[in-house]
A and B are shown apart, each in its own frame.
Chain A
Amino acid sequence: MSGRERDGGVGDGVDRTPSKRVDVCVVGAGPAGALVATDLARAGHDVVVLEAGPRFDPAERLERMERSIRPSYDRADVWGMGGDRDAFSSTGELYYPLNAARVKGVGGSTLHWQGMVMRLHESDFERRTRSGYGADWPIDYDDLRPYYARAERRLGVAGASDNPFAPPREEPHPLPAFPPSYSDSLFAPACERLGVTTHSVPNARNSEAYDGRSACVGYGTCQPVCPSGAKWSADHEIARAEEAGARVVDRAAVGRLVTGEGDDRVTGAVYATPDGAEHRQEARRFVLAAGGVETPRLLLLSRSPDHPDGLANSSGLVGRYFTEHLFAGAGGRLDEPTRQNHVGFNTTESHQFYDDPGAGTGGVPSSDADLAPIKLEFLNYAGPSPVETALSGGEWGDALLSRLREEYGTHVAMGGLVEQTPRRENRVTLDPSRTDDHGNPVPDVRWSLDARTRRTLARANELQHAILEETGVDVEWTVGPATTGPAYHHMGTTRMGTDPTASVVDARLRTHEVRNLSVASSSVFPTGGAMNPTLTIAALALKCADHVREAL
C-alpha cells in the first residue's frame, strides 16, 4: 500500500489504516470520546479513536477568530462545517440548524462551545417522579457526584461555592471563579429589591494558568473560537489521550458497526477515508461518543439481518426523544454606560427558579402553572460589538464612528435556558432520499415543542422583564415562546434506563442489546434539565470509562 493510500488520500502522510484489533475503539473525538480514551489508555489499554472530521491546526485559531468577526463568513465557516459530509434534513415542525449547532473534528463541538459547566440538580434525575413529565434517570445525583468532581478537575472549572441553589459539592472548584462584571453590578440593586439571588458562573475557562494552558486573555470571541486555548476544549484532552498512548485517526468517518461472534457483539467499526476507501477497525469493546445526532444515526446505519431496525434498537427508541434546551432572553438599554463585549463569557446567573420555577419573590409574582426548570443568565455581551458593526457595510469615516458611538455602550441583556419536555415524536431518523459524501443516508432531525416548554419560556420572560424593568431598562427585544431557538445541546436519542423496552443503554452506559457497546454522550440523558450539558457529558464519560475498564 502506498503512502497516499495509507493516508486515505489526505496527502499528509498520516497513517489512517486500522490498527490490529485493539482493546477499545472510540467513535468521536469530542469531550466524551477524549475523556474515555485518556482514562482507558492510562489504564494500559490499546485505544483507537476514529474521528470523522479533521485535526485542526492550533496555529490557525486567530484566522478562525477573524472569520468569526468578519461578515463574509457564517458561523459554520469558522470550523469548516457544511457540504456533502455534513448534509442533513430537517422535516419536523421546527427547522433545526444542525450545522450551526456542531463541529466535526478533533475537539468536537467544544471547539465552538460557550464553556458553561454546571452540575445537574438532584431533581433532574427524578423529573418523572417529581413532575410527571419526561423520564427518571436510572442513576441519581449521588451516583454522578464523584464523577462531577473529577470532571471539574479535568476540564479546569473556574467557579465558586456561592450558589445557594446548586446541589451539594464535596470540594471547591479547581480554579477561582471569574469575578462579576461591571454590567452585573448594574443589575445587583434591582435583584436585591426584587428578592432575586444571584451568584457566580462555573466556567470551563482558565481564570489562572491550569494544565498547561494560559489564563483567559480576553479575546471576547469564546463562542465560536478561543484563540488562546484558555477555554477548555476536547482537543486538549485528546492530547492527553495521545500522551497516554491512544491512537487518534482523523478524517475517518464511521459508517456502520458490524456484529459477529453471535448477534450481541460488535466486532468492527467500518470507516471511510476521504479517498473513499473503506477500512475496518476491530476491537474488544466499542464506545460511541459521536454526539446526540451522529450516535443514533450510526446505530440506525448499522442495521443488519440480525438487527433490522438498527443496532441496539430493539426498544425502537434509537433516535427518539431528541431534546434541546430553549433560549429565552430579553434586553434593551440603560441611559448609562454598561461596558459590554469586553469578554465573551458570563459571570453572573440565578438558579433561583430552577427547582421551583413558579416561586414568587417579594418583587416577582408567583405562578401556579405547570413549569419546567429555568436558568437565568446576565449577559456580558449584550448589544452590538463595535467591530462587527463597523464591518457590516454602510458608513465609514466620521459617520461610522458616530454610528458606533450611538449603537455601542448602553445595552444590557438577560438570557436563560429552559428545559424541553422530551417528546417521543422528536427524533433523528435516516433520510433515504439524501446521502452524504460516502453514500450514507443523512440524518433527518425532527423537532417540535410542547405547551409546557412554551409556558416555561413565557415564565422566563416574565422573570427577565421584571428584573430588567426594575433595573431601569427600556426593554427593546424579547426572545420567548414564539421566537425561541435551540441552545445546540443534543440530548435524549439513546436514552438511559433500566427497562430494555423503554431505553437504549443501561445505568452503566452499555447498550441493553449489544454486550460490548457503550455510549458516552448527552444522547443518554433521559431528561435534559436546563443546565448546559457538557459537564454532565464529561462526568458520564468518566463513569463509562470506569465500566468499560472493569469489563476488559
Chain B
Amino acid sequence: MELTRRDALAALASAGVVGGGAAAALARERREATARRPTDGESAGSPLLDALVATAEVVYPEEVSGVPAFVETYSLARFDARPDYRAGVRDAVEELDDHARAWYDEAYAALDRGTRDDLLRSMGVDAAEEDPEGTTAERVRFYAVNELLFALYTSPAGGRLVGIENPQGHPGGTESYRRGPR
C-alpha cells in the first residue's frame, strides 16, 4: 500500500496538528520544491528526518510504500507544532547514532534495514514501554518508534491495513461505524 503526503496530513489530524501546523507543512513542501531551505530547521534530507524515516522502514509493515514522504510531512508538522517533541526526537536520534557508531562505525540512518532492526532490538527498544523520561530504550520507543506507529495507525491508511478506515484518534465522521464489511 502506497502512503502519500495526503495520508500524512490525515494522520496529523490525530496528532494535534490540524489547521495551522499542517498548512505550514504544506507551505514548506511547496517552498522546498523549488529551493532547499537553509539548515535552521529540519527539511527533507536532514539527519533527524532521515533517522525517523529509517526507523519507520523498520517498524512499518513491508507492504507499506511511500514511507519517506509520509514521515517527512508528518514529522515536520509535528516539529513545528511541538518544539519539546523535536528536542526529544533529537536526543533519541543522537543516542541511536551513538549506538550505531559504537557497533557498526556508521550513523544509524546509514545502516541497512535489517541492521537497524537488530540495533533497535539489541538496545531493548522492542520490549520497552514508551516513556519520555525513561531509559534510552524507553525514550527511543516514545519519540521514534511509537511516534511513527501512532502516525500510521491513527491514519485511515494505517487503519485500512487492519480493516478499520476510521481508526481511534482520527476524525473520520459518523458514517463508517454503520457500514458493514466490504
Among residues 54 to 91 in chain A, which have CB atoms less than 8 Å away from a CB atom of chain B?
A: 62-63, 65-66, 69-72
A205 to chain B, nearest CB (A): 10
Whether the Cβ atoms of B174 and A408 lie closer than 8 Å is: no
B9 to chain A, nearest CB (A): 14
Cβ-based interface call for A313 (8 A):
no
Taken together as a complex, chains A and B put the C-alpha atoms of A136 and B141 apart, in Å, by 55
Whether the Cβ atoms of B117 and A397 lie closer than 8 Å is: yes
Whether the Cβ atoms of A72 and B171 lie closer than 8 Å is: no
Taken together as a complex, chains A and B put the C-alpha atoms of A178 and B181 apart, in Å, by 20
Q: Which residue of B lies closest to A178 (CB)?
A: B174
Contacts of B60 in A (CB 8 A): 397
Task: Indicate which residue in B128, B167, B180 contacts A182 across the interface (CB closer than 8 Å).
Answer: B180
Cβ-based interface call for A167 (8 A):
no
A contacts, CB < 8 Å to B: 62-63, 65-66, 69-72, 178-183, 185, 207, 215-221, 227-228, 336-337, 339, 341-344, 347, 380, 385-388, 390-391, 393-398, 400-401, 404-405, 408-409
Contacts of B141 in A (CB 8 A): 393
Known: A71-B130, A397-B117. A405 touches B146 (CB 8 A): no
Contacts of B62 in A (CB 8 A): 397-398
Whether the Cβ atoms of A386 and B16 lie closer than 8 Å is: no
Q: Which residue of B lies closest to A338 (CB)?
A: B181
Taken together as a complex, chains A and B put the C-alpha atoms of A343 and B173 apart, in Å, by 9
B contacts, CB < 8 Å to A: 14-18, 58-63, 117, 126-132, 141-142, 145-146, 149-150, 152-154, 158-159, 161-164, 166-174, 176-181
Whether the Cβ atoms of B181 and A339 lie closer than 8 Å is: yes
Known: A221-B168, A386-B159. A396 touches B126 (CB 8 A): yes
Taken together as a complex, chains A and B put the C-alpha atoms of A353 and B158 apart, in Å, by 41
Please classify the interface of chain B as helix (H, G, I), strand (E, B), loop, or mixed, using the class held by over half of its residues. loop
Contacts of B166 in A (CB 8 A): 218, 220, 342-343
Taken together as a complex, chains A and B put the C-alpha atoms of A183 and B174 apart, in Å, by 14
Known: A72-B142, A396-B58, A397-B58. A390 touches B153 (CB 8 A): yes
Task: Indicate which residue in B127, B129, B152 contacts A71 across the interface (CB closer than 8 Å).
Answer: B129
Q: Which residue of A lies closest to B145 (CB)?
A: A396
Taken together as a complex, chains A and B put the C-alpha atoms of A339 and B165 apart, in Å, by 10
Contacts of B145 in A (CB 8 A): 396
Task: Indicate which residue in B58, B130, B132, B172 contacts A391 across the interface (CB closer than 8 Å).
Answer: B130
Task: Indicate which residue in A62, A69, A72, A181 contacts B131 across the interface (CB closer than 8 Å).
Answer: A72
Q: Which residue of B lies closest to A405 (CB)?
A: B162
Whether the Cβ atoms of B169 and A339 lie closer than 8 Å is: no
A393 to chain B, nearest CB (A): 6
Q: Which residue of B lies closest to A214 (CB)?
A: B171
Task: Indicate which residue in B16, B59, B177, B181 contacts A337 across the interface (CB closer than 8 Å).
Answer: B181
Known: A66-B15, A397-B117. A220 touches B168 (CB 8 A): yes
Whether the Cβ atoms of A341 and B169 lie closer than 8 Å is: no
Contacts of A182 in B (CB 8 A): 177-180
Taken together as a complex, chains A and B put the C-alpha atoms of A182 and B177 apart, in Å, by 6
Q: Which residue of A lies closest to B155 (CB)?
A: A387
Whether the Cβ atoms of A408 and B161 lie closer than 8 Å is: no
Whether the Cβ atoms of A408 and B162 lie closer than 8 Å is: yes
Taken together as a complex, chains A and B put the C-alpha atoms of A463 and B62 apart, in Å, by 45
Contacts of B15 in A (CB 8 A): 62, 66
Whether the Cβ atoms of B168 and A387 lie closer than 8 Å is: yes
Contacts of B128 in A (CB 8 A): 393
Contacts of B173 in A (CB 8 A): 217-218
Q: Which residue of A lies closest to B153 (CB)?
A: A387
Q: Which residue of A lies closest to B129 (CB)?
A: A393
Q: Which residue of A lies closest to B179 (CB)?
A: A182
Taken together as a complex, chains A and B put the C-alpha atoms of A387 and B11 apart, in Å, by 12
Contacts of A181 in B (CB 8 A): 177-178
Taken together as a complex, chains A and B put the C-alpha atoms of A388 and B180 apart, in Å, by 23
Q: Which residue of B lies closest to A64 (CB)?
A: B16
B56 to chain A, nearest CB (A): 10
Counting from the closest, the 6 A-B pairs by CB-CB distance are A342-B177, A62-B16, A396-B59, A217-B171, A337-B181, A387-B153
Whether the Cβ atoms of B167 and A387 lie closer than 8 Å is: yes
Contacts of A185 in B (CB 8 A): 180
Besides A219-B168, A337-B181, 12 more A-B contacts (Cβ < 8 Å) are A69-B154, A70-B146, A216-B174, A342-B177, A385-B167, A386-B168, A387-B168, A396-B145, A397-B117, A400-B59, A401-B161, A405-B163
